[in-house]
Structure 1
Amino acid sequence: MKVIVIDDENLALESMVRMLQRFDVEVAGTFQDPREALKHHESLGAEVAFMDIEMPEMNGLELASRLQSVNPELHIVFVTAYEQYAIEAFEMAAVDYLLKPIQLKRLDITLKRLQAMRPGSGRESREQSVTKLRLFHHMSFLDSQGGSLEIPWRTTKAKELFAYMIHLGDRTPNKDELLDRIWPDVHIEKAVTLLHTTIYQIRQTLKNACIPLRIEYKEGRYCLDLASGMQVDTRMWEMAVREAANEGNPEKMHHLLLTEYRGDYLETEGYLWAESERERLRALWLEHALKNASQMETSALFSNAISLHQQIQERFPEIEESYFGLMRLFDKLGNTSEVQHQYANLTRMLAADFGMHPDESITKWFDDWNDRKSS
């Protein structure tokens, strides 16, 4: 095992090195200045960084985040003289934390934990099996067999920050944008610490779940790398919808509308920043759903048309066309009670929500239908 040690106090640094060497651990480098560690650590090929939390210029929480932006596989062990930092270390999902003065038995436990996490457990094949990120309805992952993988996020903010970075797509946010979006009401110094902590949490969560995504930090901006082939369901769905429309393929479109659109964009998460995208995708769904229902009705595929109108009515109860469409379809199927039921529902909804009556064309159709049934 190859490690680096970072501590601004020389005596503490030398003590840690001696203790690690007693366990035959290779110490590839030592640093008293966190900035020097940032410059040189990558070339040393270390698997683990033992670092003090309380250091001048840059504390260990920020340093850990920046080190992992370069090397996401780097394990972090925090070393501190203050037990209060233990909570923050665990919040960051660090491998472990050690309290000064360090006891050999306690260090042995940490090293055994690190040894158990080393490559060779079949992680690579599992990592490749996670192939799809789903954002319709709620955020989850799918493996190559279609099985759902729910991620145990360390905090709600870690989940939200990850979702926001996916939401941005190819756009790379800077620190200020992330602070404004995720911690708008938190004091700037505390928010910066929370940002570094949360980025670290995300990296550890993805790594522990064998998900092949990486967060990188370059030139003051954060980048979530999707180049590994990870698919995002909302982007795939929108592309497929446009292809089906261009091809004039109503069967494919029907499947996309009823099956692939599992729910609104991040519907259950409640993120304010997601509302505009949620409404855009809802509007796109509605546009094609109305067209496809009409196509299905014209082709006498009444069951398909009914399914779509029922979905439209559930998602957009204010849309009169869904009630009228169902009235026409149930009439063609000879279901008199459902025609009356749909008209009654439409009348009740418009009166309660808008103080209005159904459109004149719908009322005329219903009156004519009643006349035909009465004669």
Structure 2
Amino acid sequence: MKAIIVDDEYLALESMTRLLQRFEVNVAGAFQDPREALKQQQSLNADVAFVDIEMPELNGLELAARMQAAQPGLQIVFVTAYEQYAIEAFELAAIDYLLKPIQLKRLDLTIKRLQARRADPTPEPEQAAAPMVCFFHHLSFQDAQGHPLTVAWRTAKARELLAYLIHSGDKTPSKEELLDRIWPDADPDKSITHLHTTVYQIRQSMKAMGIPLRLQYKEGRYHIDQCGTQVDVLAWEKAVREAAEAGDDGAMNRLLMSSYRGDYLETEDYMWADGERERLRALWLDHALKNASRLEATGASSDALSLYQQLQVRYPENEESYFGLMRLYGKLGNNAEVHQQYAKLTDMLSEDYGVEPSESIMQWFAQWNERKQG
């Protein structure tokens, strides 16, 4: 078992390292700075993180949410000197918590829980055994087992043409449309040659990779027959629709946090992708706002915290992410984070729009302050 430890106190960090080593746990990293732990966690690929809750700047609750957002399979064990967190905070998808000073018998129980979780993990939803074309973040390919496939593209235009034909779906772009989209500045006579050459390159590349995409040409129009090949965006949107209809908040949260790996072809400089990118962003935002609110209402604090955090990263202009975090941190008794979120919101709105937070947020904050002072 591989672990990382995060605690701003050096002596506590050293003590936990020695204790874990007694149980033959491989300590891959020990960090006093939680932000450094965030930077290195994926490269360390640990199974579990032992996280102190009370840390300045970035506390353990928020750190855990961010770590699990970046690495959903990471197990969290909170370490705290304050038992009240065990009542309110450990809804946060943590497998366990430890009270300082840590007792060997109690740590032994935690290690056994972790080992049992590794021996009998919750099965992932089954994926259809078919190759996948991925449009989230960038154009890429996976084989039927989910392993990445490397394509040696002859030209960048071959890559773009294939992406555009898949993007077109059931539509059948004409030769003229393709020339206008893919080779807008080329000499008309030469662009026809480019198109024919590129179509040949695509067919050869798909055949070499074993991806059963068929590029068809009929009556002056082109079409991609997927032949069982999946497209991640289409599969994601279908799964989101099904989760929404079933009211499955857990499945929806996984789809929003893990499956949506980045915006539609966000790293590709394809102007024709802008409309679909914004449509999917709006769809993600709508479901994320609704799901975060439901998760918060049902007490799933960890998932709600992670989703609001992701909302803030993707849509920093959206007030609800700040307000949601304020409410959650207020329930957890983390007063400093409530103030920090309110200050961030106030600064953002003032600098970008010259306005104040909405009346409902200002009223909530004023009432919350009064209760704390009273």
- Answer yes or no: same fold by TM over 0.5: yes
Contact 1:154–1:205 under 8 Å retained in 2: no
Pair 1:137-2:113 in alignment: no
Report how far residue 156 of structure 1 moved.
1.0
Task: Specify every segment of 5 or more residues in structure 1 that has no aligned partner in the other structure, as ranges.
Answer: 1-127
Residue of structure 2 in register with 1:198 after alignment: 198
* 1:212 counterpart SS class: coil
Per-residue Cα deviation, 1:175-208 (whole angstroms, up to 9, x for no partner)? 0000111111222112111111111111121122
Report how far residue 270 of structure 1 moved.
2.1
Inter-partner Cα distance in structure 1 for 2:361 and 2:129: 52
Inter-partner Cα distance in structure 2 for 1:240 and 1:146: 18
Inter-partner Cα distance in structure 2 for 1:352 and 1:147: 45
Inter-partner Cα distance in structure 2 for 1:241 and 1:209: 29
Residue of structure 1 in register with 2:39 after alignment: none
Inter-partner Cα distance in structure 1 for 2:314 and 2:304: 15
Task: Specify every segment of 5 or more residues in structure 2 that has no aligned partner in the other structure, as ranges.
Answer: 1-127
Report how far residue 339 of structure 1 moved.
0.7
* 2:222 counterpart SS class: strand
**4+ runs of 1 displaced by more than 6 Å?**
none
* 1:172 counterpart SS class: coil
Residue of structure 1 in register with 2:276 after alignment: 277
Residue of structure 2 in register with 1:161 after alignment: 161
Change (3 A) 1:129 1:288: closer
Aligned-residue Cα RMSD (Å) equals 1.4
Report how far residue 229 of structure 1 moved.
0.8
Residue of structure 1 in register with 2:359 after alignment: 360
Per-residue Cα deviation, 1:180-239 (whole angstroms, up to 9, x for no partner)? 11111222112111111111111121122222111111111112111x210111011111
* 2:131 counterpart SS class: strand
User: May I ask how many residue pairs the two structures share in their alignment?
Assistant: 247
Report how far residue 148 of structure 1 moved.
1.4
Inter-partner Cα distance in structure 2 for 1:129 and 1:350: 47
Report how far residue 150 of structure 1 moved.
2.9
Inter-partner Cα distance in structure 2 for 1:347 and 1:354: 10
Q: 1:22-101 to 2 correspondence within 5 Å?
A: none
Inter-partner Cα distance in structure 2 for 1:286 and 1:153: 34
For 1:252, the aligned partner's letter is A
Residue of structure 2 in register with 1:289 after alignment: 288
Contact 1:130–1:212 under 8 Å retained in 2: no
For 1:307, the aligned partner's letter is S
* 1:265 counterpart SS class: coil
Based on CA coordinates, which of the two structures has the bigger radius of gyration? 1
Residue of structure 2 in register with 1:219 after alignment: 219
Report how far residue 130 of structure 1 moved.
5.8
Residue of structure 2 in register with 1:21 after alignment: none
Residue of structure 2 in register with 1:48 after alignment: none
Inter-partner Cα distance in structure 1 for 2:290 and 2:275: 23
Report how far residue 129 of structure 1 moved.
7.4
Inter-partner Cα distance in structure 2 for 1:265 and 1:241: 16
Inter-partner Cα distance in structure 1 for 2:309 and 2:150: 30
Inter-partner Cα distance in structure 2 for 1:368 and 1:201: 65
Contact 1:131–1:230 under 8 Å retained in 2: yes
Contact 2:130–2:228 under 8 Å retained in 1: no
Residue of structure 1 in register with 2:263 after alignment: 264
Inter-partner Cα distance in structure 1 for 2:202 and 2:131: 18
Q: What is the TM-score of this pair, normalised by structure 1? A: 0.64
Contact 2:211–2:229 under 8 Å retained in 1: no
For 2:132, the aligned partner's letter is K
Residue of structure 1 in register with 2:324 after alignment: 325
Report how far residue 172 of structure 1 moved.
1.0
Report how far residue 358 of structure 1 moved.
0.8
Inter-partner Cα distance in structure 2 for 1:140 and 1:129: 17
Contact 1:166–1:224 under 8 Å retained in 2: yes
Contact 1:130–1:141 under 8 Å retained in 2: no
Residue of structure 1 in register with 2:340 after alignment: 341
Inter-partner Cα distance in structure 2 for 1:140 and 1:179: 23
* 2:338 counterpart SS class: helix
* 1:268 counterpart SS class: coil
Q: What is the TM-score of this pair, normalised by structure 2? A: 0.64
